[in-house]
Amino acid sequence: MIKQLGFVLDPNRCLGCGACVQACQINHPSSPLAWRAIRTVEEQGPEGRRRFYLSTACNHCANPECMRVCPQGAYSKRRDGIVVHSAAKCTGCKSCVAACPFGAPRLNPLTGKAAKCQLCYERVDQGQAPHCVRACPTRALQLQEIQSLALDRLVRLTAPLPGLKLTNPSVYYKDPRMVRTEQK
């Protein structure tokens, strides 16, 4: 059985501090693009307004649309589920950029070629956590083998983004119901 690595984020612990974003940028200085971003979610509930943060990046999908549509075969999926992009094969046609429902691959303005989060696969190969995971001060962001997760305790918070059934993104969230609530 091929294992699938993926991100698990606990929005109850995420402070929205951006340490994961900064770690990615610092450790990938040759890229002008930030591969990770913090998304703020605000909802009105019966207890009041609640706000939580989602650290997002490439989802390293089980069925990556970027890989399916690339005419040059610039994408490959490793045995651990990490989706890797080869800049050497990329012609900059933007097929993957248009096809990814999560906006993960983007055109690098310096090279004119697509690029995306590679999940720090060199670090993973050495048994180390990706830079974003290592930098999280509250351990809200984790990299785990998807098959080992108790998926009934996790949710998918990629809405309003489409593509869950098509791509099967390898990112899960702990239930954010316990996050900070602001009373009216």
Structure confidence at residue 105 as a pLDDT band (50, 70, 90): very high
Partners of 75 in the β-ladder: 85
pTM of the entire predicted model:
0.86
The span from the CA of 176 to the CA of 172, in Å, is: 11
Q: Using CA atoms of 144, 131, 63, 150 in order, give the dihedral in degrees to the nearest 10.
A: 20
Query: What is the Cα 55 distance to its own chain's centre?
Result: 7
Mean pLDDT of the chain: 87
Give the DSSP H or E segment for 12.
none
DSSP classification of residue 111: T
3-state secondary structure of 15: coil
pLDDT of 2 above 80: no
> What pLDDT digit, counting tens, does each position of 47-92 carry?
788 888 989 999 999 899 999 999 999 999 999 999 999 999 999 9
The span from the CA of 137 to the CA of 16, in Å, is: 11
pLDDT of residue 174: 82
The span from the CA of 145 to the CA of 73, in Å, is: 26
Structure confidence at residue 21 as a pLDDT band (50, 70, 90): very high
> What pLDDT digit, counting tens, does each position of 110-140 carry?
999 999 999 999 999 999 999 999 999 999 9
User: In the 3-class helix/strand/coil scheme, how is 126-152 assigned residue by residue?
Assistant: CCCCCHHHHHCCCCCEEEEEHHHCCHH
Q: Using CA atoms of 79, 80, 83, 87 in order, give the dihedral in degrees to the nearest 10.
A: -70
In order of their start, the domains of the chain are 5-182 (3.30.70.20)
- 13-27, 52-66, 163-177: which range is least confident on average? 163-177
Sign of CA dihedral 9, 12, 13, 19: positive
